[in-house]
């Protein structure tokens, strides 16, 4: 399974259901057509402790509209049917997956055409049942690696991950500005000692310069809060889904051109 057709690959995160599912669908299709290599389908959650204020607000709006995990999987199914070659990852906290039922979730995700799952707060040491279910359904479990991870932890993450490894550019929450050349570059180098999987760097990457810098040492970069903020701003005052979709597409094209 190859998630990244180009180097650096661009991973686009969208909080599904913000401000509604129709907008999410339009934005995701636009992002794919603009050159995003992989879409992270964010499952809205009431206590997104790893996320900064931009994505927190997006989750609040999506939950207020009643967006559920089943809605996200249905959205994935529609995207898969419309863009069969795209790469789709469900990005979720563990709680919604457990409430849905892990076996049921894994089966439904596979049937919907999802390629993998990143359960952001699931640590690799406690993921045996989850990994077994994922392997049975041929879904890729993606795990996080942080600058504070020991070599022993990185070895475990490398052994457990499929598809790619998500390298957190720095400790803290999503969206905060960071120097993507410091800790992140060293972390990618450390991960590469233990795995041949592609490494995607996320947290704090928000513009073309960040993307270009990350591309010098990593296989892909994840852009989340910057995209969610565009959706927030362009969806104001009841704008049609096409308005934020076009803006996100323009943004992704401009980022890709800079690489």
- What positions carry a catalytic annotation? 40, 51
State how far the Cα of 132 lies from the Cα of 157, in Å rounded to an integer: 15
SS3 content of the chain, % helix, strand, coil (to 5): 50, 15, 35
Assess contact for 145 and 165: CB atoms under 8 A. yes
Nearest-5° angle of CA 221, CA 227, CA 228?
125
The beta strand positions in 28-104, using DSSP E, are 38-42, 87-92
Handedness of CA 201, 206, 211, 217 (dihedral sign): negative
State how far the Cα of 7 lies from the Cα of 4, in Å rounded to an integer: 7
């Amino acid at each position: 399974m190859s998630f990244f057709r180009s180097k650096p690959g661009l991973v686009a995160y969208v909080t599904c259901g913000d401000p509604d599912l129709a907008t999410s669908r339009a934005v995701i299709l636009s992002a794919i057509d603009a050159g995003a290599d992989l879409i992270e389908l964010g499952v809205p959650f009431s206590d997104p402790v790893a996320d900064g204020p931009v994505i927190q607000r997006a989750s609040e709006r999506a939950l207020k509209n009643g967006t559920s995990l089943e809605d996200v999987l249905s959205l994935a199914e529609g995207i898969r049917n419309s863009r069969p070659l795209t790469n789709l990852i469900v990005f979720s906290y563990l709680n919604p997956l457990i409430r849905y039922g892990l076996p049921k979730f894994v089966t439904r995700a596979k049937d919907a055409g999802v390629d993998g799952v990143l359960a952001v707060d699931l640590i690799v040491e406690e993921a045996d049942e989850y990994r077994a279910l994922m392997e049975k359904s041929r879904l890729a479990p993606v795990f996080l690696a942080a600058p504070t991870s020991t070599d022993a932890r990185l070895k475990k993450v490398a052994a457990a991950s499929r598809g790619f490894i998500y390298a957190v550019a720095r400790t803290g929450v999503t969206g905060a500005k960071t120097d993507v050349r410091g800790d992140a570059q060293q972390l990618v180098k450390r991960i590469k000692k233990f795995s041949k999987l592609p490494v995607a760097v996320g947290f704090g990457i928000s513009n073309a310069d960040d993307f270009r810098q990350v591309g010098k040492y990593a296989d892909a970069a994840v852009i989340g809060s910057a995209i969610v903020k565009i959706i927030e701003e362009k969806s104001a005052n009841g704008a049609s889904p096409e308005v934020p979709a076009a803006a996100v597409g323009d943004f992704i094209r401009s980022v890709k051109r800079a690489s």
